[in-house]
Chains A and B, each alone.
Chain A
Amino acid sequence: MKEPSKQTVEVPVATGDEDRYRLRMGPQHPATHGVLRVDLELDGETIVACDPQVGYLHRGIEKLAENRTYAQTLILTDRLDYIAAMSNNCGFCVAVEKLLAITPPLRARYIRTIVNEMSRLASHLLWLATHALDIGAMTVFLYCFREREILLELFEELCGARLTFSYPRIGGVRQDVNAYFIDGLQRFIDIFPEKILEYETLIDTNRIWLKRTVGIGKVSREKALSLGLTGACLRASGVDYDVRKHQPYDAYDLVDFEVPIGQEGDSYARYRCRMEEMRQSVRILQQCIDQLPPGPIVGEDAPDLHMSQRIIPFREARVSAYGTGLIALSHKTKPTYPAGDIYVATEVPKGELGFYIISDGSPRAYRMHIRSPSFIHISALTALSEGGLVADLITNIGSVDVVLGESDR
């Protein structure tokens, strides 16, 4: 067997070499996590050129957002990263709140932190499940789904949905948490650290798992920064950057947690980082449950759900929502939303999710751009995979943790 060659190709398109084997992996392929297509040029099984293609799941969310009010756009953000829809919802709300200069009440911020971290756990569990399945460890897959199911049931208890929540709203959250939810969450937190240990004993001590991940898809600190990696992919390369820590939003500045940092920047380091992140999430959840303050869940200055008018104080908005909505809609007063542009980033499970909103003073975004971590991580696949084998590409796709819904928007 030939050693994998270390050569890299400047242009990742066809090199025109007749001996090379061109393989179009995807968009229908069991390990491309949806509809990713990767055009490969192979020398034997060694990848000479790797060119990821995205866009199969494009739904024009950014364009749709231009014709919908912010409250309506919130529903579209569910469809970004559908593995962790709650994180997208919260991220979008944080962005719009910053634009409108409103602050949700403390209780809402805590609840959002709770659902954010739950969604991080749900996402990381699905990541671990599929990553392990790609490498061939199929039992981990079902173990992870067992725990993810508990989380989804809690979400269902909270807001009635399991996948697309639209639970937060601009200026707060939609429903208050109930005792059943808190009890269920507490039970989950109590058992979950043991479960993490269970996954680790299943795969972490396995020689084959180590052989398949250690040193695979290695990316140095500098390279990771220049590729624009964020989230666990960046932290695994030794960069201490976490939006939750560096630009705290919601209640992240009120809870105590650590940001796990890796060193090697390979698939194994990314795996370790995410496993530690799960432990930290449990810590955050515990603190949030303990500290959860009483109070309103929607701010006084939160905009009406219609958002067709000026910012109405919440009490008045409630009235309009229950019957006089038509009257509120028919007001001819000019909307009083601030004009300008804003970029707000939040730490979603996949990395840094940013919303860049240009506002012209209407309740709709004049232009909204979504900086989706998946898109940037997919583009990094070229750098990660060239010179490796086909099997390494599969490891890399799994370990950078991409969701095509978010990448293609």
Chain B
Amino acid sequence: MHILILLLYILLLFTVVMLHVAYATYFERKIIGHMQVRMGPMEVGWHGLLQPIADGIKCFFKEDIIPENVDPLGFRLAPVVSLTAMVASLAVLPFAPGWVLADIDIGLLFVFAMSGLAGYGVILAGWASNSKFSFLGGLRSMAQVISYEIALGLSLVGVMLLSGSLNLSTIVEAQGGTFGGMYIFPQFIAFGVFFVAMLAETNRVPFDLPEAEAELVSGYSTEYSGMRYAIFFMAEYVGMLVMSSLGTICFFGGWSGPFAVPYFPALWFVLKVYAFMFVFIWIRATMPRYRYDQLMELGWKWLIPLALANIVLTAVCKALF
């Protein structure tokens, strides 16, 4: 019985997240559209509201093309690896008090592990596609995931030190539910590092090098089409959701807000996550793309030393006061 209820919850979460993914693309296209003095989708449904559904149906009914020279197993496996890993990390995210599928004590590490695993999907796609542009995209992704995973992990060590836990619910509770208690204030350096690393981890502008369309056509997903491509796309958007949630949980007090909302305690969480998503999109509309070596330079020469310094600073402060 317990398993059945859990399965029901999983189904519910999965459905909600997939709907979110669909409408996150709409959200993105509308915002970018208005930032770029155009309308965004307008044709399907009222103000294009059914556009994501139409896109989904289109991708679903497209011919499943597997190019002749690819490695069929890796080619089929890659999108699945990406999406599964990303969706798995949803399990530990607390959306509201008690609204969490698996309240495990190593929640933060689990999210890192899963987001690291998702990188393999991209690398595998680049390798299995047997195409030169895909291969370069895969290589870039590999280098990027390794470098920025470190910065991302280190930036959150300060949060771990302050809250004394890796459990995401505990981290939220440790911030006390007040405005002043949010870790963004004592951990502003960490947040800066986290934010940049988060963009890189999700392959978003200005770090979208693995799929830089101007250089690598479409990078690792060049050979993909139809539903397999859509799965990569979903993985990217779930990744954005996971990273935004992580930022909200670790720095902005998770579900806590100025007043409690009856029936839907996750409201503040959702609002904060969407604020993050908006910034993601805003940056995409504004920034040019980094060059591959400049990206490495930023990661290794700035973010990692900064994150390390922050750890030392936090530890010393915590020991003294």
A residues near B, CB below 8 A?
Answer: 1, 4, 21, 23-24, 29-31, 45, 132-139, 141-143, 146, 202-203, 206, 208-209, 211-212, 389-392, 394
Confirm or deny: B279 has a beta carbon within 8 angstroms of a beta carbon on chain A.
no
Confirm or deny: B178 has a beta carbon within 8 angstroms of a beta carbon on chain A.
no
Q: Which of A23, A142, A202, A392 is within 8 Å of B132, CB to CB?
A: A23
Which of B33-41, B164-172, B237-245 lies at the interface?
Answer: B33-41
- Tell me how far the C-beta of B29 lies from the nearest C-beta in chain A, rounded to whole angstroms: 12
Seed contacts A1-B292, A1-B297; 17 additional CB < 8 Å A-B pairs? A1-B296, A30-B213, A30-B214, A31-B215, A45-B136, A132-B288, A133-B214, A134-B214, A139-B36, A142-B36, A142-B38, A206-B286, A206-B288, A208-B206, A208-B289, A209-B288, A390-B216
Q: Which of B213, B216, B284, B292 is within 8 Å of A389, CB to CB?
A: B292
Name B246-293 residues within 8 Å CB distance of A.
Answer: 284-293
Nearest B residue to A31 via CB reads B214
Bound: A192/B288 CA distance, A:
23
Bound: A24/B285 CA distance, A:
30
Bound: A13/B216 CA distance, A:
22
Give 8 CB contacts A-B under 8 Å.
Answer: A1-B292, A45-B292, A208-B206, A208-B290, A209-B288, A389-B293, A390-B216, A391-B215
Nearest B residue to A4 via CB reads B293
Q: Which of A23, A142, A146, A391 is within 8 Å of B292, CB to CB?
A: A391
- Tell me how far the C-beta of B159 lies from the nearest C-beta in chain A, rounded to whole angstroms: 28
Confirm or deny: B294 has a beta carbon within 8 angstroms of a beta carbon on chain A.
yes
Nearest B residue to A146 via CB reads B37
Q: Is there contact, CB below 8 Å, between B290 and A139?
A: no
- Tell me how far the C-beta of B214 lies from the nearest C-beta in chain A, rounded to whole angstroms: 4
The 6 closest A-B pairs by CB, nearest first: A136-B289, A31-B214, A142-B36, A136-B288, A137-B288, A134-B214
Bound: A392/B217 CA distance, A:
15
Total A-B residue pairs with C-beta atoms closer than 8 Å? 88
Nearest A residue to B291 via CB reads A391
- Tell me how far the C-beta of A191 lies from the nearest C-beta in chain B, rounded to whole angstroms: 14
Q: Is there contact, CB below 8 Å, between A30 and B288?
A: no
Nearest A residue to B213 via CB reads A30
B-side contacts of A133, CB under 8 Å: 214
Q: Is there contact, CB below 8 Å, between A211 and B290?
A: yes
Confirm or deny: B78 has a beta carbon within 8 angstroms of a beta carbon on chain A.
no
B-side contacts of A146, CB under 8 Å: 37
Q: Is there contact, CB below 8 Å, between B36 and A143?
A: yes
Interface-central residue, B214, B284, B288, by most chain A CB under 10 Å: B288
Bound: A310/B63 CA distance, A:
63
Binary contact readout B134-168 vs A (1 if CB under 8 angstroms, 0 otherwise) = 00100000000000000000000000000000000
A-side contacts of B291, CB under 8 Å: 211-212, 389, 391-392
Nearest B residue to A397 via CB reads B214
- Known contacts: A211-B290, A212-B288. The answer to whether A136 contacts B214 by CB under 8 A is yes
Q: Is there contact, CB below 8 Å, between B292 and A394?
A: no
- Tell me how far the C-beta of A9 lies from the nearest C-beta in chain B, rounded to whole angstroms: 20
Q: Which of A4, A31, A203 is within 8 Å of B288, CB to CB?
A: A203
Binary contact readout B204-222 vs A (1 if CB under 8 angstroms, 0 otherwise) = 0110100011111100000
A-side contacts of B293, CB under 8 Å: 1, 4, 45, 389
B-side contacts of A206, CB under 8 Å: 286-288
A-side contacts of B292, CB under 8 Å: 1, 45, 389-391
- Known contacts: A21-B132, A211-B294, A389-B291. The answer to whether A137 contacts B38 by CB under 8 A is no
Nearest B residue to A29 via CB reads B217
Binary contact readout B21-50 vs A (1 if CB under 8 angstroms, 0 otherwise) = 000000000001001111000000000000
- Known contacts: A137-B287, A211-B291, A212-B291. The answer to whether A390 contacts B215 by CB under 8 A is yes
Q: Which of B35, B38, B206, B296 is within 8 Å of A136, CB to CB?
A: B206
Interface-central residue, B205, B208, B212, by most chain A CB under 10 Å: B212
- Known contacts: A391-B212, A394-B214. The answer to whether A139 contacts B286 by CB under 8 A is yes
Nearest B residue to A135 via CB reads B288
Interface-central residue, B36, B208, B212, B214, by most chain A CB under 10 Å: B214
Bound: A294/B215 CA distance, A:
51
Q: Is there contact, CB below 8 Å, between B214 and A139?
A: no
Bound: A124/B192 CA distance, A:
37
A-side contacts of B206, CB under 8 Å: 136, 208
